[in-house]
Structure 1
Amino acid sequence: MKVTKGYADYITFLFDDEQGSPIISNLLKEEVLIEKCICRVVDTITGYYEKRIEIKDSVILRLDMYAAYIYGGLTITNSVIGYFRLMDGGYNREPIIIRNCVFLGEVDFDESVLKNDIIIEDCIFLKGHDFVEDIRYAVMKDEYFKVKI
């Protein structure tokens, strides 16, 4: 799935079979790339994401990843995010990397379980960053916690 260079009011990750028909399965096997996009809402359906989700050079008012099991990891770079929630999810087999971003509102990692590195570097949090305690609680091993604010 690739969304590039444009405006989208609402992006959600749907699960289809090979013929394009909606299916019951909640496992997305393809990579997701959102690049140079302006979007009001990016919303993941509760599910399992086998490949990396990557957001770069974008502006997103609300990035809501509730109960997303991001096995393939997550990368957010050079983006402006209004509100970000990765709640009741995580379970990443690959790193979560957030770099060179500006967060305008709340950042919520509450009740997530992080099973690999979380790297947050060179970001600006206009509403503060009390989410760090959520992350520290969520990581399965101390060495996974790599936050440099």
Structure 2
Amino acid sequence: MIDAFYKEAVLIKKAICNTVKGVRVVYKKRIEIKDSVISELTFFEADFEGGLTISNSVIGSFRLMDSRYSQEPIIIRNCIFTGDIDFKGGVFEKDIVIEGCIFLKGHNFIQDIEYPKGVSRPEYFKVKL
């Protein structure tokens, strides 16, 4: 998905994919990825107006770079991440909920995430590993 505007929800379910990418895309409705295996999941300069949910999936590398969202939360539950995690340049104005996930290579997304002025990280960032 490149340079696109999606008004409908996107569902990826029970998929086995090498690469899923969204570059310079505006998602008006929620993107949901569940019960899938994806080697590389990358969103670059994407606007998640409807939020993003990833659940019960195995993800290799996960990049959410220079992306933003402001209306709905990002929810990541019960996933295994086997590669690098990169949230650099992401600006988030709603909750990021990460629960029950395993990061085999570790992560540094807490340092990568930017928030609007006047918003503290603990206010929006909710992690239960």
The counterpart of 1:134, out of the listed 105, 112, 117, is 112
Q: Which sections of structure 1, spanning at least 5 residues, go unmatched?
A: 1-12, 15-24
Distance 1:44 1:81 in 2: 15
SS at match of 2:112: helix
TM-align CA RMSD:
1.4
Q: Does 2:58 match 1:80?
A: yes
| One-letter amino acid of the structure 2 residue matched with residue 75 of structure 1 | T
Distance 1:57 1:92 in 2: 26
- After superposing the two structures, state which structure 1 stretch, 45-54 or 70-79, moved more: 45-54
Question: Residue 145 of structure 1 aligns with which residue?
Answer: 125
TM-score by length of 2: 0.91
Report deviation, 1:147.
1.5
The counterpart of 1:105, out of the listed 65, 68, 83, is 83
Question: Which segments of structure 1 move beyond 4 Å, counting only runs of 4 or more?
Answer: none
Distance 2:58 2:22 in 1: 18
Distance 1:77 1:61 in 2: 15
> Identity of aligned pairs, percent?
57
Matched-pair contact (CA < 8 Å) for 1:116–1:139: no
Deviations 1:47-101 (A, max 9, x none): 2110000000000000010111111000000000000000001223100000000
TM-score by length of 1: 0.79
Question: Residue 17 of structure 1 aligns with which residue?
Answer: none
Question: Residue 8 of structure 2 aligns with which residue?
Answer: 30
As a proportion of its length, which structure holds more strand?
Answer: 2
The counterpart of 1:66, out of the listed 10, 24, 44, is 44
